[in-house]
Amino acid sequence: MAGTPRHWDWARLADHVVSRRAALGMSRDALADATGVSARSIGKMERGESVSRDTVAKVEIALGWEQGSGRRLLEGGEPSEAARPAPAAGSAYRVILDAPGLTEGERLAAIAAIEEERRRTRERYARAGYTEEQQRLFEAAPEAFRILVERERARRAAEDEANGASALPGSGDRPA
């Protein structure tokens, strides 16, 4: 991590990551897939080399640790298990937890992948200017959010048209 204190114990973090990954029955490649981090970066972490805060955070999620566990390990503390709310019936989490034949590591990897995709989606909508309330609506009711987005696009298009903007070729195309 850029600007990391010299006293951080990367070897300690490495030992815990390797032990937890093995206990979950995950390969290094499976951990890389679950986090969206390259296998090379996972290898660096597992060899006790420093990696970015983002990498540490993604590995925490995939290993089922509470946010901040990586830093606690680097500072000589212990990781904490992440508290996950009981998933609703029919939710993606419930499907994963109820799927027969999956190891605990595979379950955590699947949950980490869902959480990472949700994080990316929230970032995309934030960059597009949607409020946190609209983003929560999307997570709670994706169909309602889709309708909201379509209405907003129609409103903006009507506004552009009223202001004399036109999307017809050769008549003032708007930039994409």
pLDDT in tens, the chain (176 residues): 545 566 889 999 999 999 998 888 888 888 888 888 899 999 999 999 999 998 998 898 888 888 899 999 999 999 988 776 555 555 677 777 778 888 888 888 888 888 788 778 778 877 877 777 777 766 666 666 667 677 778 888 888 888 876 544 444 444 44
Query: First and final CA of the chain: distance in angstroms?
Result: 36
Q: Which domain holds residue 41?
A: 10-125
Based on the domain organization, do 116 and 134 belong to the same domain?
A: no
Is residue 17 included in any domain, yes or no? Answer: yes
pTM of the shown model: 0.55
Based on the domain organization, do 35 and 53 belong to the same domain?
A: yes
Based on the domain organization, do 117 and 138 belong to the same domain?
A: no
Based on the domain organization, do 60 and 135 belong to the same domain?
A: no
Q: Which two tokens stand for residue 118?
A: 């949700």
Burial (CB count within 10 angstroms: exposed 0-12, middle 13-18, buried 19+), residue 160: middle
CA distances from 71 to 89, 112, 121, 126, 151 (A): 34, 19, 26, 27, 44
Based on the domain organization, do 27 and 91 belong to the same domain?
A: yes
Based on the domain organization, do 146 and 118 belong to the same domain?
A: no
Is residue 45 included in any domain, yes or no? Answer: yes
Based on the domain organization, do 121 and 156 belong to the same domain?
A: no
